[in-house]
Amino acid sequence: MGKADTVMIVGAGPAGLEAARTVAELGKRAMLIETKDQLGGTPYASYASLTPDLQETEHAMEHMLDAVRNNPAVDVRLNTRVVKSEGNLGAFHVTLESADGAQSVEEVGAIVVATGFQHFDPGRETQMYGYYEYDDVITLVDAEKMFKEGKIVRPSTGLPPERVAFIQCVGSRDRQIGNKYCSKVCCGIASKQSIEIKRMLPNAKVFIFYIDMRMYGFWEDQIYWKAQEEYKVNYIRGIVTEIIRKGDKLLIKGEDTTMGRPMEVLMDLVILSVGMEPSKGTVEMSRIFQIPREDHGFLQVVGGPLDTVSTPVPGIFVAGAAAGPKDIEDSVSMGAAAAAKAVGILNRLTLEV
């Protein structure tokens, strides 16, 4: 098959995997580029289970990985990064670099960028949560790592916590730090994790401090009410402003906006619900492929709500959290949509020739 029959997909997370599979299913060749040494992206590497159904991530995603690994129409390149791109729709000349520094130039007809997000670093601009000061302040991702080992403990002691607090919107919905958007999934993940903690430690008290809970669609029923009614998780409206150490506990200070008063409460473990930002790869691909970034820093799409995957650069599409905060289902849907559009444009190109 020629260059116009190949779609390059950059990033092998849920969106990239689905894009590669779809390209292959539509009869074209997919070249899947991943900088890391394994497929699956951020959820596969970092999350023990998926929101909202609590399926084990490795098990749930295995069929996606297999569909790509064992597919002769998908050329998987691990430990490889895109370093340069020239040409345009129908004939992109993309320079790849492997981990050992060897470079090759690949000619492809269209490109899907699925380079995803990175979690907000809670030490960067919200130092008051003490993530880099206290062991017992962790992030959603740190908690998932513990869940992978089947436990949740206070890192300072190795013992199970009696009182756990989640703090929502860390690095999201915060004009002061410049992230003027909701990261969409953190409310769901925190609620999912609160259920998991209560399953492991039925006697623990779990609190979620929030601005407002954003449980879109079925998540409201699947996890939000379930966490409250079946697992007795306490949802407290009002954001925490500061965490300090008191004795061997953490004192969280903030405001309870339902009660209309300041609060100071002791906790054993605090979990920061860190939001999404464009990954370094996404920023890098914006530069290499000359894709403009929208106001929030993610890759720009041209169709508004009616075309979620076409970028202003003809022949280049975006899928998943590279285009803004996304949950897994949206990422996978976008992967398929981007692949369909990429294949469609190559088909039209072939017909025109």
Partner 1 sequence: MEPIDIPVAGTKVQTSRVFERDPETVRDEDLREAIWELGREGEWIVQPVPEPYYLAPTKFGRQKKIPLEHTWHHKSCGQCGHIPGYSTSIFWLNRLLGFDYFDPRDQTSCTAWNYYASATSNQAAQAAVAMRNFSAAYETGYYPLIHCGTSFGHYKEVRHELVHDAKLRRQVRAIIEKLGRPFVMPEEIVHYSEWMYAVRKQLSERVQFDLSKITATVHPACHYYKLQSGDAIYDPEIYGGQRTAAVTAVVQELGAQVADYSTWYDCCGFGFRHILVQRDFTRSFATLRKIEVMKQEANPDVVLTHDTGCVTSLDKSQFAAQAHGRNVGVPVMSESQFAALAVGAHPFRVCQLHWHAVDYRPLLHKMGIDVERAWAEFEADVEKIKHGEMEYLTWEHVL
The answer to whether residues 147 and 199 touch, using CB atoms and an 8 Å cutoff, is: no
| Sole window of 54-62, 237-245, 324-332, 333-341 interacting with partner 1 (rule: CB under 8 A) | 237-245
Query: Collapsing DSSP states into helix, strand and coil, what is residue 321?
Result: helix
Contact call for residue 239 and partner 1 (CB under 8 A): no
Give the relative orientation of helices 57-69 and 14-25 as an angle to the nearest 10 degrees.
40
62, 107, 135, 255: residue in contact with partner 1 (rule CB under 8 A):
135
Contact call for residue 287 and partner 1 (CB under 8 A): no
Query: Collapsing DSSP states into helix, strand and coil, what is residue 26?
Result: coil
59, 124, 151, 232: residue in contact with partner 1 (rule CB under 8 A):
124
In the complex, the smallest distance separating the C-beta of residue 14 from partner 1, rounded to whole angstroms, is 23
Contact call for residue 25 and partner 1 (CB under 8 A): no
| Sole window of 27-35, 130-138, 328-336, 342-350 interacting with partner 1 (rule: CB under 8 A) | 130-138
Contact call for residue 298 and partner 1 (CB under 8 A): no
127, 157, 258, 350: residue in contact with partner 1 (rule CB under 8 A):
127
| Sole window of 17-25, 175-183, 320-328, 339-347 interacting with partner 1 (rule: CB under 8 A) | 175-183
| Sole window of 7-15, 92-100, 171-179, 195-203 interacting with partner 1 (rule: CB under 8 A) | 171-179
If residue 229 lies in a helix (H) or strand (E), which one and from where to where? helix 225-229
CA 171/CA 166 separation, integer angstroms: 14
244, 263, 288, 340: residue in contact with partner 1 (rule CB under 8 A):
244
25, 242, 255, 256: residue in contact with partner 1 (rule CB under 8 A):
242
Query: Collapsing DSSP states into helix, strand and coil, what is residue 139?
Result: strand
Contact call for residue 255 and partner 1 (CB under 8 A): no
Angstrom distances, CA of residue 109 to CA of 93, 113, 163, 191, 340: 9, 13, 55, 43, 13
φ, ψ (nearest 5 deg) of residue 289: -95, 5
27, 66, 151, 178: residue in contact with partner 1 (rule CB under 8 A):
178
The answer to whether residues 129 and 170 touch, using CB atoms and an 8 Å cutoff, is: yes
Query: Collapsing DSSP states into helix, strand and coil, what is residue 132?
Result: coil
Contact call for residue 265 and partner 1 (CB under 8 A): no
Token output for 140: 């959603």
The answer to whether residues 201 and 233 touch, using CB atoms and an 8 Å cutoff, is: no
32, 76, 114, 283: residue in contact with partner 1 (rule CB under 8 A):
283
In the complex, the smallest distance separating the C-beta of residue 144 from partner 1, rounded to whole angstroms, is 16
Selection from 249, 275, 253 nearest residue 134 by Cα: 249
Contact call for residue 251 and partner 1 (CB under 8 A): yes
* Residues 267-276: b if buried by 16+ CB within 10 A, e if exposed: bbbbbbbbbb
In the complex, the smallest distance separating the C-beta of residue 309 from partner 1, rounded to whole angstroms, is 25
If residue 7 lies in a helix (H) or strand (E), which one and from where to where? strand 6-10
Contact positions vs partner 1 (CB under 8 A): 121, 123-125, 127-128, 130-135, 137, 155-156, 177-179, 242, 244-247, 251, 277, 280, 283, 297
